[in-house]
Structure 1
Amino acid sequence: MFRPSLLVVGLAAVSLPAVAEDSFDVEGGFAAFENLFGVTEGMRRNHTKGFCVEGVLTPEDSAILEFSNSPMFKGASSVIARVSHKGGKSAPADDKYGLLGLSMQILTSDDDLHVIAMNTEHFFPVSNSEAFIELLRAKSSGGESVKAFAIANPSLRKYSEYHGGLDKTLRPYEGTKFFSVNSFLLVNEAGEETAIRFDFRPSGEEGIVVPTHPNFFLENIQANIANGGVSWDMVITLANPGDVVDDPSVQWTGTHTEIVAARFTAKTAMAENDGQCDEINYDPLILSQGFAPSGDPMLEARSQIYAHGISQRLSEKE
């Protein structure tokens, strides 16, 4: 079980892993978010606007047990999730297309913890934390700085070209597909490791069912839950030989083996003030038995900046 950091109200904090703490400029990264978006005191600096969704994760295709002995794939788990707009604006409009996020804290039937943090991006614009901070600073400086960064970092151009060509139809959270972006390793009973990425795909055709306005997403998901249910399928994609595992800016292409490993069914949705998700650190390195981190350097960067962010945020609420 790999749990490098955790900060959740009611649970003890676990220290960061024994790696070089200066491997990522945590304070510099945090400051870059604030310089770009502003200071949203007492709130997340990224994915600032969101609300809580609670439900259950249940196993689907038992074929996944060949690759992982995670308890998530052996019985029902409870989930406290958070859906959000990507970015640090405190009040982005729900009725305009934008990038979104879905994060989940999963508590298995044997009290193992697993955290998932996903975005609607199919892959990341840069390969490492240093380049990511540089990108944030370039965005803060304006268009010319971003152009210069893109010249020096071809991965940003590939990211922009690909994502710029995607369908921009407005969809609610429950009608949206979310991607892991980072790679992970599945570990089976024999200790064998398999590199994977995953996504959560809407199980049904949940769409917009209430009048749209700048804050209609919560009302919409509540209506869809009441009208028959909201769920996403966890689809695990097994890496092919030759796939780049440790660079989140490289997209996997071609035919891959996919396993519908589990289904997350939402039971209720509520504002952050009424739910439990606001005080959860959705650290993607909190992994249950049967999973391990890949060598992707962005995983450690995300883990460290999330821990710094929640500590800062909760202290501002005191």
Structure 2
Amino acid sequence: MIRRSVLTMGLCLTATNVVAEEDFDFEKGFAAFENLFGVTEGKRRNHTKGFCVEGTFAPVDQAIKAYSNSPLFTTESSVIARVSHKGGRSDPADNKYGLLGLSMEITTPDDDLHVIAVNTEHFFPVPTSEAFVELLRAKATGAGATKAFAAANPSLKTYSEYHGALDKSLRPHEGTTYYSVNSFLLVNDAGQETAMRFYFRPSGQEGIVVDAHPDFFIENMQANIASGGVSWDMVIVLANADDDVEDPSVQWIGDHTEIVAARFTANAAMAEAHGRCDEINFDPLILSEGFAPSSDPMLQARSLIYAHGVGTRLSEKE
């Protein structure tokens, strides 16, 4: 059965005020992932290796209600999530440091949907989807092409220097912080909009890696869930007046108002074959009331690539 998030994504694209990048070729973007990583039929072309997590999403700090009337911040909701390695390789090793992802389909008691897709990158390497496609193509071509691309795109140097200096200690998913990269808008009862980004930081037991082998992530999380210690706090970061809302490659710096708006608590983890996350399209434009897309044009580019991708991989399973 195809989940409702797949069926409703077209409505979301027409119902929101998201800004599109002019003439963006989403099929070319999808092909760029295949050219770089190859094709694992029936699987996602990016974040290929992952597993399902299920749990609850509950409000924490009531201060968020001044900025958003989303049902996410008023009642407990159910979550079907997926944690993953970034990239299109079919079997990257869990016991080697790499970029990771966390995606959630949140269902409220009134059966409304909200999708969240976050990564361990603090910000994006390039400002536009077209530049990102060119970066993927350069990487697929080789080191020389990648170096030439970097010389022409200074945002990649900023990205590489910042992320290269981060702690590379091996952490399981439950000990990892994930960032939104793109900006969104909070909308309150009065219709006032506030730009924000957000991140999910571990709020439960980070857990100790006791048997780090190439596929230990799922076992580690299952063990930590059994001990009652897997959760992440959703921290909303309100934009300052001088923050760039449209460009995901620009880091917001300095002091910001932060609100611990909600908490995702995991209560089960299972392989995709035994879970419900595999067929979900984690489209970042599926938003509940109280949220709206920002003017970041990469949001719709992501949405279009994801929509094409889910149709392709599900057809390969028929």
On whether the aligned pair clears a TM of 0.5, the verdict is yes
Residue 10 (structure 2) aligns with:
15
* Corresponding letter in the other structure for 1:80: I
Q: Which residue of 2 aligns with 1:301?
A: 301
Counterpart amino acid of residue 183 in structure 2: S
How far residue 14 of structure 1 moved from its aligned partner, in angstroms, is 4.3
Which residue number in structure 1 is paired with residue 107 of structure 2? Answer: 107
Cα offsets for 1:106-153 (capped at 9, x unmatched): 011222110000000000001111101000000001111111111111
Instruction: Label 1:255 to 1:131 Cα distance change in 2 as closer, same or farther (>3 A).
Output: same
1:144-185 Cα shifts (integer Å, max 9, x gaps): 111111111110000000000000000000000000000000
Equivalent position of 1:3 in the other structure: none
For structure 1, the residue ranges without an aligned partner over 5 or more in a row are 1-6
Q: How many residues align?
A: 312
| Counterpart AA for 1:161 | E
- Superposition pairs for residues 6-155 of structure 1, below 5 Å? 8=3, 12-15=7-10, 17-18=13-14, 23-155=23-155
Q: Say what the alpha-carbon RMSD is for the aligned residues.
A: 1.5
Q: Deviations over 1:21-80 (max 9, x none)?
A: 973211111111000000111000000000000000000000000000000000001000
| 8 Å Cα contact 1:209/1:224 also seen in 2 | no
Greater mean deviation of Cα atoms: 301-310 or 208-217 = 208-217
Q: Secondary structure at the match of 1:248?
A: coil
| Cα distance change on mapping 1:153 and 1:41 into 2, 3 Å | same
The 2-side partners of 1:102 and 1:196 are apart by: 19
On the 8 A contact 1:209/1:223 being kept in 2, the answer is: no
Aligned equivalent of 1:314: 314
Identity across aligned pairs (percent)? 73
Amino acid at match of 1:12: L
Residue pair 1:210, 1:219 contacting (<8 A) in 2 also: no
Q: Is 1:255–2:255 an aligned residue pair?
A: yes
Indicate the SS of the match to 2:7. coil
| Residues 313 and 161 (structure 1), Cα distance of their counterparts in 2 relative to 1, 3 Å cut | same
Amino acid paired to 1:180 = S
Is this contact kept in 2: 1:210–1:216, CA < 8 A?
A: no
Deviation at 1:10, TM superposition (A): 8.7
Q: What TM-score, normalized by structure 2, do the two folds share?
A: 0.95
Distance of 1:11 and 1:34 partners within structure 2: 22
Task: Name stretches of at least 5 consecutive residues in structure 2 with no aligned partner.
Answer: none
Shift of 1:209: 3.8
After superposing the two structures, state which structure 1 stretch, 231-240 or 13-22, moved more. Answer: 13-22
In the aligned structure 2, how far is the partner of 1:220 from the partner of 1:117? Answer: 22
Give structure 1 regions of 4+ aligned residues with deviation exceeding 6 angstroms: 19-22
What does residue 242 of structure 2 align with?
242
